[in-house]
Chain A
């Protein structure tokens, strides 16, 4: 079945090019040019996914996101942010976005993200990325406190390692490239950082108790990246 995508962005330079591209990629597309119109179309068009710009006149993207989530609408949302600082990214996810992309982004990357969010989405349920606490096997991730407990004992992890684990646990069973992990921490990816990601993952694995021949949590996909393989659930 063709998936329906609603683009909410006030810049016609973006929407005029993005809409036909997504149609060619096999989606049914509708465009709203501000937040108010976007909210209205969520009702009538019933999209499977919303691409939401953040800075818009009248009703900005963050407010649209908040209103939808408060009304119990869990349509998957990818935020298209223009400002990429770390605090903004964290806030976006806490408020219930499923993913975000920093402008300028690669069109192919957008399609890949749309597909993976659609795959991950559970109908009418909050995404893992908006949960306060996540659990997998014997570890618990307390997201707001940035703490990781293993069998009720706090693991001594650096803030960056916790951020990495957070990203992996909110994208279970998905191949995550080193570049994307890096981007989740810093907001960009570069060849220098790709190396340091490996060191962080090694630190994380050691703390979690993964060994080279037994990966209960994080699996390496040689030459590509990492995948969180433990089953993840939301803790109330």
Chain B
């Protein structure tokens, strides 16, 4: 009978059409969810950006009024200068972030020991009295761009110095095809609820608003590490300090 294969083909067609419609429906829902997420992130970013600009602008408006006052003149001028630098630094960091996500990354073996020592030396330029110890067990070399890697580790050290008072430990070791580097401080720690946000652009922790910062340091670290094909992780407990771990693809030395 020739009708049987025809029926089978007909049924298959029905299944395909319905299946396809079902799939496109699911697809649409997924796209919609991604779009909603993007809108939310954009809104969040703009709100934070607005906040970061509002403060220096308000400060400058007050300073401009104080310029007319003989006694307040010098302080007012210094304040305006400081605030313009603050806005400049913010924009520069945003530009870095934009550039890091597209710029080509060099793939040159970087000696971990030298990298850590250089980063610590840089951090010590600003705070020579603070103790930063290095324990390096990594023998592999990280594949990447030395400047960017140095910037990432320096940012972590800078954070650790800012948000803690005691010694800081930098440890590195081989892990399969990667090198792991962690920077540990024993500062106040970050509340659990905020941990997942710390990598976001312009995010500032609620307890540390009084400390000067752009809210872009960790976002830059994440962008750099991800462009190297690596991963970032953060672990923190209140009163017990914070540990940030970078996992970076490495090659045998």
In the bound complex, residues from chain B placing their C-beta under 8 Å from that of A86 are 99, 103
Interface digits, B116-149 against A, CB 8 Å rule (1 contact, 0 not)?
Answer: 0010001001000000000000000000001100
A196 and B147 form a contact (CB under 8 A): yes
In the bound complex, residues from chain B placing their C-beta under 8 Å from that of A84 are 95, 99
**Alpha-carbon gap, A85 to B92, bound state (A):** 11
In the complex, residue of chain A having the shortest beta-carbon distance to the beta carbon of B126: A191
**Alpha-carbon gap, A120 to B160, bound state (A):** 46
**Alpha-carbon gap, A196 to B102, bound state (A):** 21
Interface digits, B44-76 against A, CB 8 Å rule (1 contact, 0 not)?
Answer: 000000000000000000000000000000000
Do A188 and B92 form a contact, CB below 8 Å, given A86-B99, A159-B104, A195-B118?
Answer: yes
Is B42 in contact with chain A by the CB < 8 A criterion? no
CB proximity to B under 8 Å, residues A58-114: 84-86, 104
Q: How many residues of A contact B (CB 8 A)?
A: 17
Is A192 in contact with chain B by the CB < 8 A criterion? yes
A85 and B98 form a contact (CB under 8 A): yes
Main secondary structure of the interface of B (DSSP, over half): helix
Is A47 in contact with chain B by the CB < 8 A criterion? no
Is B108 in contact with chain A by the CB < 8 A criterion? yes
Is B150 in contact with chain A by the CB < 8 A criterion? yes
Q: How far is the CB of A224 from chain B (nearest CB, A)?
A: 18
In the bound complex, residues from chain B placing their C-beta under 8 Å from that of A191 are 122, 125
B146 and A196 form a contact (CB under 8 A): yes
A85 and B99 form a contact (CB under 8 A): yes
B102 and A158 form a contact (CB under 8 A): no
B99 and A192 form a contact (CB under 8 A): no
Do A104 and B88 form a contact, CB below 8 Å, given A158-B106, A159-B104?
Answer: yes
**Alpha-carbon gap, A159 to B105, bound state (A):** 10
**Alpha-carbon gap, A45 to B124, bound state (A):** 53
B108 and A158 form a contact (CB under 8 A): yes
A192 and B103 form a contact (CB under 8 A): no
Is A160 in contact with chain B by the CB < 8 A criterion? yes
CB proximity to B under 8 Å, residues A166-210: 186-188, 190-193, 195-196, 199
A196 and B96 form a contact (CB under 8 A): no
**Alpha-carbon gap, A191 to B106, bound state (A):** 20
**Alpha-carbon gap, A188 to B216, bound state (A):** 16
Q: How far is the CB of A14 from chain B (nearest CB, A)?
A: 14
Is B29 in contact with chain A by the CB < 8 A criterion? no
Residues of chain B having any CB pair with chain A under 8 Å? 84, 87-88, 91-92, 95-96, 98-99, 102-104, 106, 108, 118, 122, 125, 146-147, 150-151, 154
Instruction: Name 28 interchain pairs, CB-CB below 8 A, sorted by A.
Output: A85-B98, A85-B99, A85-B102, A86-B99, A104-B84, A104-B87, A104-B88, A104-B91, A158-B106, A159-B104, A159-B106, A160-B106, A186-B96, A186-B99, A186-B147, A187-B95, A188-B92, A188-B96, A191-B122, A191-B125, A192-B122, A192-B147, A192-B150, A193-B147, A193-B151, A196-B146, A196-B147, A196-B150
Nearest first, the 10 closest Cβ-Cβ pairs linking A and B are A196-B147, A192-B151, A192-B154, A188-B92, A104-B88, A192-B150, A193-B147, A196-B146, A84-B95, A85-B99
Instruction: Add 12 more A-B contacts to A84-B99, A187-B95 (CB < 8 A).
Output: A85-B102, A104-B87, A160-B106, A188-B95, A188-B96, A191-B122, A191-B125, A192-B151, A195-B118, A195-B150, A196-B146, A199-B146
